[in-house]
Amino acid sequence: MANVELKRIDEEVLQSLGRPSPRYAAVMALCALLMAAGLTAYMFQYYLGMGVTGLSVPVGWATYITNFVWWIGIAHAGTLISAILFLFRAKWRNRINRAAEAMTIFAIMTAGLFPLVHLGRVWVFFWILPYPNWRHTWPNFKSPLVWDVIAVTTYLTVSTLFFYLGLLPDIAAARDRTEPGVRKRLYTFAALGWTGKYDEWRHYARTYLALAALVTPLVISVHSVVSWDFAMALVKGWHTTIFAPYFVAGAIHSGLATVIILLIPLRKALRLERVFTLYYFEQMALLMILTGSIIAYSYGVEAFMSWYSADVFERQFSAFRAFHSPYTPWFWFMVVGNCVVPLTFFWKNARTNWAWLLIASIIVDAAMWFERLVIIAGSLIHDYLPSEWGWYVPRLPEVLMTCFALGFFTFAFLTFVKLFPSAALSEMKHDALEREEERI
Amino acid sequence: MAFTRREFLRGIGLAAGGVAIPSVAYDRLIPYLNQPEDIVPGVSTWFATSCRECPAGCGMVVRNRESRVVKCEGNPLHPFSRGKLCPRGQAAPQGLYDPDRIRQPLRRSELGKLEPVSWDSALSELGDMLARKPRVAVMTDLQTGTLDALMRAWLAALGSDRLITYEPISYEHVKDTNGGLIPTYEIAKSDFLISFACDFLETWVSPIEYAIEFAKMREIRDGKRAGFVYVGPRVSMTAANADVRLMVSPDVIEQIATAFLEGTLERDARKYGIDPDSAKAATDGFAAAKRPLALPGLAANTCCGTAIFNARRDTGLVNRSRRHALSYVSSAADVDSFTRDTESGVIGALVIHNANPVYAMPQSERFTEALKRVPVVISLSSHLDETTAMAGWVLPSNTPLESWGDYAPYPDVVNLMQPAMGTLFDTRQAGDTLLALARAAGVNTKQSFKADTFVEYLRTRWSLAGEPWQELLQRGGKFAGAPAGLTATPITGYNTLGDPPVDRRAASLPGSTADPHFHTAAPSIYSLRLWAFPDSYLYDGRGANKWWLQETPEPVVKGVWGSWAEIHPSTAAKLGVSTNDCVKIENGGASVSVPVYVWNGVKPGTIAIPMGEGHTDYGQFARGVGVNIWPLLTEDVPLVNVTPGGGTQWVARIRGSTDQSHRAIVQTASLGENWSREKPIIMPLPSGYGKRDFYPGNKYKKHRWAMVVDLDRCIGCHACVTACYAENNLGMVGAEGVFRRREMSWIRIDRYVFDSAGHGYDIPERRGDAGSSLGRLLFQPMLCQQCDAAPCEPVCPVFAASHSEEGLNMQVYNRCVGTRYCSNNCPYKVRRFNWWDYKWPEPLNWQLNPDVTVRCRGVMEKCTFCVQRIRQAEITALREQREVMDGEITPACVQTCPTGVFTFGDLMDKNSRVSSIIETDPRAYQVLAELNTKPAVIYLKKVI
C-alpha cells in the first residue's frame, strides 16, 4: 500500500480538481454528442410511438429494460464498497469509496431514465406513483413495477444522503484550499458551513454509521426487487426463485467491474496514481472471484431446477436457450465472461496486470449486459404458445438510447471528478493518522 | 446563495418552456341540431340487404348508426346463410368507404387524363352518341333479376342484344360436366364426401352455405361421422379439414376418381404418388359409404373426375333443379367471340359494369388491345380498377351497400337489396344511370321500361312477389317459392349472329384422358404445374383494396399483403431455392417474379400461387401489392417455366412455430373411443379456487361470461377475425407491421401440424424427400381467455388490466401507460399493443364503431368479449324489466361463425348452454390449465 503522508493528502487529491485538459474536453464533447443523438431518437419515439423500436408481441421488453437492470446493477457495487465494507471494517474501501459511491448515484440516475423511456404513454407516467388524487386511484401495489419505483427512489434518496454526508468534510477541505472565485462559492455553499469541530465530527460519525446501516439492506433488496420484475412473471426463463441472489450477485459483479473500468483511466488522467494504487484493484478483483462464483452457482441452479422440475416448458426452454436460440452465442458468452474470466484473478500476475484488469472488467460488463438481454428478450421469444414465438433485434433508437445512457453517465461522472474530490480525503487522513499513531 | 426574485422567475419560465407537453387536439361531439325522424342517437337501425362481395349471394343485415354504416352481419332469416357471413362479407363496409372510390363522373380529356365532369354534361354528350345508334354492348359482373332484366331491356331499346356476363372465375368446367349449369350438391345428406380439389369452404360457389352444410354433415352420431377425403395438389383450408388427403398432381385426378370406383386406389397408390396408408383409409371409407358424393373444383380434370364419380355412384345428392346463379355466367367461348367482335370494330359503344377483364382475364392483353378499338367505353364501376382506368367515361355507381336491387343465387332464394345509408358521393344507382342514358338517347323510358327510375322498375317487378313491399324489405327478400319473374332469366350464350353454342362435353376438354395432348409424364425440373387458386379473401382480385382482407392471414400459409409461390422441399432443392427467394415464372408471353414459400403442403412438381394480387390500379391498398398471375393462365393448370433468381423478398406472413412440442395446446379425441376428461375443468368461479391459490376468488353477483370453442367445428375460415376487425376498430399494421410481429388481431387462428406418427413439427418443412407430405393440420381460434386468475392483472402498475364484476378481464385504455408487462405475462399472448397511431384514411373512419374507443399509440388492447354488446344487451334487458336471455349476447366472432364454433353465455346461469356443455361434454379442456389461470374460454377437443 503506497501511502501518502498525512500533510500531503489534500494536495495530492485536490490537484485533480485543476483545469481540465483538452482530452477531458474531447471526452465531454463526445458524451454530449451521444446524448444529443439519444435525445433525437427519443423525440421520434415520443411523437411516433414505440413502433420505432424493434419490440413486438411477444417481445414487449428488450434493450430498454436491459439497460435499466444493468445500470441499477452497476450502482450496487458502489454501495457495497461504501456501506457494507464500512460495516465490515474492510479498510481497503476507504480510498475508493467516494468514486464508487459517485458511480452509484449517477448509475441510478441513468437507470431511472429507462422505465420512462420504455413507456408507451410516458406523458402519464406519474400514474405509477402513489399520490393522492381526486379519482381516488392508487397504483397497483401487487405489481413489481411499483415495487421498483419504491425501491429505486428509496435507493437514490438514501444513497444520495449517504454520499453527500461522506463528501461534506472533503468539500470543506476543498473550500479551504481554493482560491476565491466561483468554485470557492460553490464549495462554500455545498459545505453547509462545516468547520471540523469535535461535535460536528461526532454527529458525522454516528449519522454515517446509521446511514451505512440503512443503505446496506438496500444493496440486497433493491436488486432483488428489480429481479422480481421477472421472477414474479410466469414467463419461462424468468420465473425462478434463484433470481434474487442471482441478480444481486450479478449486480455487484458488474459494478465492481465498472469501478475498475472507471478508475484505471481516471488515475492516469487525474494523476492520482499514488492514491489509487494497485492494491485496491487487487481487492476488487478478488471480490469479483466471489461474485463470479455465486453467479456460476446461480446458472447451475437455474439449469438444474429447470430439469428437476420435469416441467415440459421449462426443460424445452433451457435446451432452447443453451442450444437452439438465436441468442445462444450470447448465452455462452455471458457464461464464460461472467464465470470463467474472473477466475483468472486467482493468479497474482493476472490481477496485478493493469491491462488484464481493464480487459477482463470490460468483458464482464459486456457479459452482464448480454445476460440481461438473454434473460429478458431471450425468454420472451420462446414463450408458452409456439404460434407466438418471435424474435428480437434492436433498432437504431434503442442503440442510440443505450449510447445516451453511456454518454450521460460518463458526462455526469466526469463532471463530478473535476468538481469534487474523487478520493475520500477525510478517510485517507484518518488512516494516515492511525498509521502515524502506530509508529509512535 | 439567495436568488433574486428576477432570477427565480426567469428560471421558472425557462423550466416551464422546457417541459412543454404537446396537447392532444380533441374533436368535438355535437348533437343533432335538426334530428332526422327515426334516428335516435345511440340506437342502431338495421337494414336487410344482400351481400354482393362474391356471387354466393348470402343475406346480410347492415347496422346503421346515426346514418352511417358501421357493420355488416348475416341475415338470420336467410335460408342458406342463416345469419352468417364470411370474411368477404364482413369486409363489405370497406368497399363502401373505400378511400379510392370514384366520387364523381369522369371523362377522359384530349390529353388522356380522366377529369371530373358533371352528370348532366356527361349524360347529354353520351346521349348524343348513343342516339346515333352504334352497336352497343354491355359487359357486367353476374347480375340476376332486376338489373339483368333492365340491362337486356336497355340493350333492346337501343337495338342490340349483346350482353356479356363476365366473371373471371366462371366455373366453366363444372357447368360443362353438368349440362350447362352448376347444381346444388347436398353434402349434408352425404356420408362420404370426396372433394376433387374443390375448396368449397373457402371461395367455391357458395362458401357459407357449404360450410354450414359441412358442419351438419360432420356431426357425430352414435360414434360415427361422415368421412371427408380431399384429392388435390395443395393443402388448402378445405383440405386441412379432411380426414384423408390424397396429394396428387392435378393431371391424375380423373384417374383417381376411376380408381376409387374400381377399387384400384390402393394398388396404384405409388403410381399416383399417394402414400399407401392414406389410400387404404380412403378406400375403406368409400367402401363403407352408402351415399358418397364428389365435388368438382375449378380445373377441368377435377370436374371430369367428379362427373365420372357422381354418374357411376348416383345417390341423388346432385340437385340439378336448384342451379346456382353462376350458371348464367357467359362461357369462355362467348367471351372469346365478344373479344373478337370488339377487335373487329363491330362494337361501337361498350358499357362496363363491375367487370375487370383487363386485370382478371387469362391472357388479358388481347382484350386490352381490343378495348382500345371501341370508340365509346363507359364504365359504371365504383372503383378505379384497371378496366375502368381505360374507359373514356366513368359514370360511377353506388356500391352495393348504397344500392337498390335484387340478387337470386338460387331459384328459390331471391335477395332484395336496399341502401343501408344515403349515397356518400356523387354517384347513382347503375339502373338509374342506364335509364338516364336511354332518356338522353331519346328513348321514352316510361314507355319502354314502364318506369323512370330504377326503384320504380324494381318495385314493379317485385309486385309479382305477392307480398307487401315493407315485409319483403324487412325480411331481405323472397325465400322459397319465388316467382320465376324475379329470378335469373336462363338465357345462355352470347348472341354472335346466330352461331350455335359449342358442345363442350367432358371428352373434348383439355386435360381429360381423351385429349391426345394430355401430359402424363412428371414435369421436368424447371417446368412446373401452376396451381392458381382464388385467394381466400381477395377471391379473383375484387377484394384487393380492402385492407381488412389484405391483413387477414390466409388460413394455411398465413400469408398477408402480397403473393407467394408454394413449392415442395424436393422441388425447392432442385431449383436451389429456399423460402423468401424469388423465382421468375413464365408462360404465354407473361412473366412474374414472386418469392417462394417452401413447405410440404403442396405436391412436388407443382407451384401454387394465389390469385387476386398484383393490381396496377384499384387503390392504395391494392396497387403494387403482390403479383398478378392471370396473364399466366393459358389453361386451367398450365405448365410454366420457373427460373430461380431475382433476389429475395420476405413472404409477408404471420410467423410462429406450428410445432406444438408436446404442450397439449390443441388436443384431440379419437372417433369411436370413449372420451373422458384427463383433467377436470378449473372453473373461473369461486368454486375453482382452493388450496393452490394464494388469493380468494372473484365473487360474482349476476353474470360470469364464458365461451366454449369447439375445435372440431373450426374450419379455419377467419370470418371471426375479420368480424372482430370490423366491430372493434382495430388498426392496420400493413406488411411492415406483420414483419415486425405487430399484427393487431384480437382473435387469431393458430395452426399446429402433426406428422403421421403424431409428432408436431414446424412448417416450412425442411425435410426434402419427395415423399414427405403434410400430416394433420389443426386450427385453433385463440382469443383472450378472460382468465379468472389472470396473470396480466396483478402486474399492471396502474390497474389498467383489472377484473370486472362480470368476470371479464378489462383493459382500461384511458389508464394504460404502456409498460407492456401485461403482454409479457400473458401466456396466451393475446394482448396487442398500439405501436403507432394507426390511421383510417377518409372515409374509412366513417366505419368506426361508435361504441368502441379508438386507441392511441402506447396503449395495450385485447379482446373484450365485445363488452359493448354485452352492455347493450344488459341495458336493453333492464329497460324491458327482464333478465338477459341465454344466447341473446353474441360477440362479433360468435355471431358470424358459419359452423357454430363458439358458444357464449353466462356461467352463473345453470341452464345456459355454456354451463351445460362445460358440465357434460367429455371433450372439454382448458389451454395451459396447469398454469392455474382459470380461463373462461373452454375448448372442446378436435375429433380425429
Instruction: Name the amino acid, one letter, at B126.
Output: L
Cβ-count burial B213-230 (b if 16+ within 10 Å, e if not)? bbbebbeeeeeebbbbbb
Task: Give the angle subtended at the CA of B70 by the CAs of B409 and B893, to the nearest 5°.
Answer: 70
pLDDT band, very low/low/confident/very high, at B445 (cuts 50, 70, 90):
confident
Asked if A50's CB is within 8 angstroms of B860's CB, the reply is no
pLDDT(A226) > 80? yes
Q: Show residues of chain A in contact with B662, CB under 8 Å.
A: 312
Q: How far apart are CA A108 and CA A71, in angstroms?
A: 7
Q: What is the DSSP string of A322-381?
A: IIISTTHHHHHHHHIIIIIGGGGGGSHHHHT-HHHHHHHHHHHHHHHHHHHHHHHHHHHT
Question: Which runs of consecutive H residues, i.e. helices, occur in A118-197?
Answer: 144-177, 182-191
Instruction: Name the amino acid, one letter, at B33.
Output: L
User: How many DSSP H helices and E strands does chain B contain?
Assistant: 27, 37
Task: Give the angle subtended at the CA of A343 by the CAs of A341 and A345, to the nearest 5°.
Answer: 100
Q: How far apart are CA B561 and CA B180, in angstroms?
A: 36
Asked if A146's CB is within 8 angstroms of B750's CB, the reply is no
Residues 897-936 of B with CB under 8 A from A: 928, 931
B557-581 pLDDT tens trace: 999 999 999 999 888 988 989 999 9
**Pairing status of strand B318-319 against strand B184-185:** antiparallel
pLDDT at residue B495 in the model: 44
Q: Which residue has the higher pLDDT, B251 or B627?
A: B627
Instruction: To the nearest 10°, report the CA torsion of B514, B516, B520, B525.
Output: -150
pLDDT band, very low/low/confident/very high, at B131 (cuts 50, 70, 90):
very high
Whether B794 and chain A come into contact, CB under 8 Å, resolves to yes
B270-284, B335-349, B517-531: range with lowest mean pLDDT: B517-531
pLDDT band, very low/low/confident/very high, at B490 (cuts 50, 70, 90):
low
Q: Show residues of chain B in contact with A125, CB under 8 Å.
A: 817
pLDDT at residue B367 in the model: 92
The secondary structure of residue B730, as a DSSP letter, is P
- Which grid coordinates belong to A362? 470490460
- Stated pTM of the model: 0.92
pLDDT band, very low/low/confident/very high, at B250 (cuts 50, 70, 90):
confident
Asked if A384's CB is within 8 angstroms of B663's CB, the reply is yes
pLDDT band, very low/low/confident/very high, at B678 (cuts 50, 70, 90):
confident
B345-360 pLDDT tens trace: 889 999 999 999 999 9
Q: How far apart are CA B719 and CA B722, in angstroms?
A: 5
pLDDT at residue B518 in the model: 32
pLDDT at residue B496 in the model: 39
Residues 655-674 of B with CB under 8 A from A: 655-663, 665
The secondary structure of residue A238, as a DSSP letter, is T
pLDDT(B764) > 80? no
Asked if B859's CB is within 8 angstroms of A121's CB, the reply is yes
pLDDT band, very low/low/confident/very high, at B636 (cuts 50, 70, 90):
confident
pLDDT(B442) > 70? yes
The secondary structure of residue B71, as a DSSP letter, is E
Q: What is the DSSP string of B474-524?
A: HHTEEESS--GGGS-----S--STTPPPP---GGGSTTSTT-TT---SPPP
pLDDT(B499) > 80? no
pLDDT at residue B894 in the model: 97
Asked if A146's CB is within 8 angstroms of B819's CB, the reply is no
pLDDT(A217) > 70? yes
Q: How far apart are CA B658 and CA A105, in angstroms?
A: 48
Chosen for mutation from A387, A389, A392, A395 (greatest number of chain B CBs closer than 10 Å) is A387
Q: Show residues of chain A in contact with B815, CB under 8 Å.
A: 127, 137
B299-311 pLDDT tens trace: 888 898 888 888 8
Average pLDDT, chain A: 93
pLDDT at residue B722 in the model: 97
pLDDT band, very low/low/confident/very high, at B509 (cuts 50, 70, 90):
very low
Distances (CA, A) of B400 to B49, B416, B421, B632, B898: 9, 11, 11, 31, 22
pLDDT(B797) > 90? yes
**Pairing status of strand B639-648 against strand B527-534:** antiparallel
Shortest Cα distance from B237 to chain A (angstroms)?
A: 18
B374-422 pLDDT tens trace: 999 999 999 999 999 999 999 999 999 999 999 999 999 999 999 999 9
Chosen for mutation from B665, B817, B822 (greatest number of chain A CBs closer than 10 Å) is B817
Q: How far apart are CA B8 and CA A427, in angstroms?
A: 38
Shortest Cα distance from B552 to chain A (angstroms)?
A: 16
Sign of CA dihedral A124, A130, A134, A135: positive
pLDDT at residue A212 in the model: 94
Tell me which residue of B868, B519, B893, B553 sits closest to B709, measured CA to CA.
B893
Chosen for mutation from B665, B694, B759, B795 (greatest number of chain A CBs closer than 10 Å) is B795
Q: Determine the longest span between alpha carbons in chain A, in angstroms.
A: 77
Distances (CA, A) of B583 to B578, B601, B642: 10, 19, 6
pLDDT at residue A272 in the model: 87
CB pairs under 8 A between A and B: 174
B607-620 pLDDT tens trace: 999 999 999 989 99
pLDDT(B21) > 60? no
Report ipTM (2 d.p.): 0.94
pLDDT(B13) > 80? no
Note whether B274 and B147 are within 8 A (CB): no
Q: Residue A394, preceding bond cis, omega within 30 degrees?
A: no
Q: Which residue has the higher pLDDT, A410 or B445?
A: A410
pLDDT at residue B18 in the model: 44
pLDDT band, very low/low/confident/very high, at B11 (cuts 50, 70, 90):
low
A102-114 pLDDT tens trace: 999 999 999 999 9
Q: Can you tell me the mean pLDDT for B508-530?
A: 49
pLDDT at residue A1 in the model: 46
Shortest Cα distance from B830 to chain A (angstroms)?
A: 9
Average pLDDT, chain B: 89
pLDDT(A276) > 60? yes
pLDDT at residue B212 in the model: 96
**Pairing status of strand B393-394 against strand B106-108:** antiparallel
A326-338 pLDDT tens trace: 999 999 999 999 9
pLDDT at residue B770 in the model: 58
pLDDT at residue B222 in the model: 87
B707-763 pLDDT tens trace: 999 999 999 999 999 999 999 999 999 999 999 999 999 999 999 999 878 888 888
pLDDT(B525) > 60? no
Asked if A234's CB is within 8 angstroms of B858's CB, the reply is no
Q: Can you tell me the mean pLDDT for B189-201?
A: 95
Note whether A253 and A295 are within 8 A (CB): yes
Whether B759 and chain A come into contact, CB under 8 Å, resolves to no
B6-20, B338-352, B703-717: range with lowest mean pLDDT: B6-20
Asked if A385's CB is within 8 angstroms of B665's CB, the reply is yes
pLDDT band, very low/low/confident/very high, at B14 (cuts 50, 70, 90):
low
- Which grid coordinates belong to B931? 398454469
Shortest Cα distance from B229 to chain A (angstroms)?
A: 27
Asked if A316's CB is within 8 angstroms of B740's CB, the reply is no
